[in-house]
Amino acid sequence: MTEAKIYVPTVEAKSPPRTYNQIHTARRRTPGRRRVSIYVAWSFPGEANRDLTELDNRFSTMTEVRRVEWPFWEAQEWSGTTQFQQGIPGSLELFFRAWMPFQQLVGEVSGHAVPVFQRVDQAGYHLPLDERTLADADTLLVFGLDHNVTQQEASAAEIEAVSEWLTHEGTCLLIGPHHDVGVSEEPSERAMEYAHHGDALVPRQQRFGKYTRSLMKGLGVPVENRFGLRPGVVAGTTRIAPLNINRDLDTQRWLEGVTNFSFHKHLPHYAVTDPTAAVHVLARQPIDVSKPHPFIEAGNREFNAFLWMPPGGTRAGDILLADSTVFSTLFGTDESLMRFWKNLATAK
């Protein structure tokens, strides 16, 4: 396993011209080349307009990011008020910039651009999951980065549209609800969780994924995102500990050539709520047990990091679960992670 390459924010002197506020042009089906799309299930205004006097359940402002991670973001590119937004919108834009390497790699492998759709975008346009986002996608990644307080929820029409899309051979839905920190009403338990993950930018309560939870419920996916667990590292290094992979179950070779994902301080445990369901836990992540957490105190030393529901019944498509941070270079990347991206882009 090689050392992770930490994301270093830079702007190329001569990058291609950027456009904004375009209407998506549907991609034509190309045999052997998957069309991959990303759907961010948040309301950008709902996240950006959160009250900054509220301590919990909001993203950090860019100013808070700069303060906590000083001096990493102190170049003029990020700290200048005429150059980069300093409120919550600025920190949200970091997500888009950090998804670009994934988009670029998959675009090169597949020959298709990778669009990023938002449930409600910066301009206030609402885009539910329907034929506009589904018709030209073979693989759809749904990122559950919506705070529960913004009340994003999949409608019956969306669930029906996704269910119908999954009846088509070769479709693949990857759902990525983010962490669920601070569920307990007991302050001491919230303090324990906070001390465990050790990220000053995460409040004592930060609950994500109402949209993805409602989508999973509608699709019959018996999984819940729980906690925000700090992964273990290789002894004597800062590299994330290798995944515990069940390769016998991985008959589709989603994790072929993969040993690890990227390090992130607070990752969700994907709890399978129905043990009789056909949900394969393909990879578990060792936990950093140096600081206590209720999940550790319950006897756990790993959490479920990557799950697969093979086709079944009328559903011809695959359903996967993995956290959205797996596709972001904000938290480092290496050959193993990029191999996982390629596997998704080239799946049969």
Token pair, residue 292, equals 């206590």
C-alpha–C-alpha distance, residues 122 and 250, integer Å: 39
Q: Kindly state the helix (H) or strand (E) to which residue 236 belongs, with its residue range.
A: none
Fold of 36-345: Rossmann fold (3.40.50)
- Domain residue extents for the chain: 36-345
Instruction: Give the contacts of 5 (CB within 8 A, at least 6 positions apart).
Output: 332, 333, 334
C-alpha–C-alpha distance, residues 273 and 103, integer Å: 33
C-alpha distances out from residue 177 to 75, 94, 126, 231, 269, Å: 32, 18, 20, 17, 10
Q: Can you spell out the DSSP letters for 24-52?
A: PPPPPPBTTB--EEEEEEEEHHHHHT--T
Beta-bridge partners for 33: 30
Task: Give pTM, 2 decimals.
Answer: 0.94
C-alpha distances out from residue 53 to 58, 60, 238, 255, Å: 10, 11, 34, 43
Residue pLDDT tens, the chain, 348 long: 444 444 445 545 567 888 888 899 999 998 889 999 999 999 999 999 999 999 999 999 999 999 999 999 999 889 988 999 999 999 999 999 999 999 999 999 999 999 999 999 999 999 999 999 999 999 999 999 999 999 999 999 999 999 999 999 999 999 999 999 999 999 999 999 999 999 999 999 999 999 999 999 999 999 999 999 999 999 988 899 999 999 999 999 999 999 999 999 999 999 999 999 999 999 999 999 999 999 999 999 999 999 999 999 999 999 999 999 999 998 888 999 999 999 999 998
* SS3 (DSSP) at 312: strand
Q: Which of 33, 21, 11 is nearest to 113 (CA)?
A: 33
Q: Which of 91, 178, 180 is nearest to 142 (CA)?
A: 178
Q: Can you spell out the DSSP letters for 97-125?
A: HHHHHHHHHHHHHHSS---EEEEE-TT--
- Dihedral angle, C-alpha 37, 329, 193, 232, nearest 10 °: 110
Instruction: Give the contacts of 335 (CB within 8 A, at least 6 positions apart).
Output: 2
